[in-house]
Amino acid sequence: MLLWFTLTGASVLFVIIDIRSTPESPVLKWGFVLLTAYTGPIGAFLYVLGCREPLPGLHERYTAVRWRQVLGSTMHCVAGDGIGILAGAALGSVLALPNLANIAVEYALGFGFGWTIFQALFMRDTAGGSYKQALKGTFVAEFLSMNVLMAGMVLIVALGRSLIPSPLNPLMPEFWFVMSMALLVGFTVAYPINWWLVARNLKHGMMTVRRDEVGADDLPTLGEPSTASAMEGARAESPEMGHAHRAGEKGDNLAAQIIGMVVLTTAIFAIAVWVALMVEAG
């Protein structure tokens, strides 16, 4: 355990120094620092593999591949949610909350911080600078990702508590080691849902600060109505109308998929909580 914390400290120091020269968004830079603090050398490895510019001028092309975009999306989720989750776990331990109440506090604080601060506030420029619009636009993606992240975490925390004889509290190194392993597993199991979200433009991935910022009018939208045509008397469907119709169908299909994912991820989280409670009770 001492080796793990030593490697974590060295990894965080490396990322803090090295990432200053990486042409990445400031919020994602902080995200990688936090991820490395949570996951030690594995976080540093993911930074080098997924975000660190291999040669000057190649960051855009290097991070454009889908798996690196998803890596950035998942990292952003875990970095922000992790702060609230750790605060909730520490609070629950100090107050000696029952297991289910402890999970509820971790979820509430993790989701609240990740959604309102790390997603909506820090990324509001992608919503035209409107915090309210950013809250609306990031809620579903944050909810889906949080469900799967917490599903992985509660199982590892329950396993850790069952293997460590004394109750975990923030003054013990075992507490931070177990939470570190839980966040690492949570990151891993949240990666697939973030792939789904990035593939459907519901979450962003890596960024490059050298690029001009994308304006709100340049962001892809689903189901955007086309401008009315001046073709009077035309009964056949115009190409523009056809495009709008197809976009509308695509938007309806995406809405159905989102509902399905809400049900699926909520069920996964509920099952994980049930299993975790059984492990800790047994």
Residue 186 has pLDDT above 90, yes or no: yes
Q: Is residue 44 left, alpha or beta, with left meaning phi > 0 and alpha meaning psi from -120 to 50?
A: alpha
pLDDT value of residue 108: 97
> Cα-Cα-Cα-Cα dihedral of 113, 119, 120, 122, to 10°?
100
Q: What's the half-sphere exposure (Cβ side, CA atoms, 13 Å) at 6?
A: 3
Please report the pLDDT score of residue 114 as a whole number.
Answer: 93
* Lowest mean per-residue pLDDT among 1-5, 48-52, 170-174, 209-213: 209-213
Mean pLDDT of 89-112: 95
223, 248 in Cβ contact below 8 A? yes
d(CA 29, CA 102): 30
CA 12 to CA 45: how far, in whole Å?
11
In whole angstroms, what separates CA 196 from the centre of its chain? Answer: 12
pLDDT of the residue at 130: 85
User: 181-207 burial string, b = 16+ CB within 10 Å, else e?
Assistant: bbbbbbbbbbbebbbbbbeeebbbbbb
Q: In the predicted model, what is the mean pLDDT of the chain?
A: 86
**What token pair was written down for 212?**
């001009």
d(CA 219, CA 99): 43
Report which of 45, 22, 16, 33 is spatially closest to residue 208, judged by C-alpha positions: 22
Tokens representing 93 are 């331990």
- C-beta separation of 49 from 65 below 8 A: no
Of 246 and 135, the structure prediction assigns the larger pLDDT to 135
Of residues 111 and 2, more confidently modeled:
111
State the pTM of this model. Answer: 0.84
Residue type, 10: A
Higher pLDDT, 106 or 243: 106
Whether 247 shows a pLDDT value over 60: the answer reads no
Does 253 or 229 have the greater pLDDT score?
253
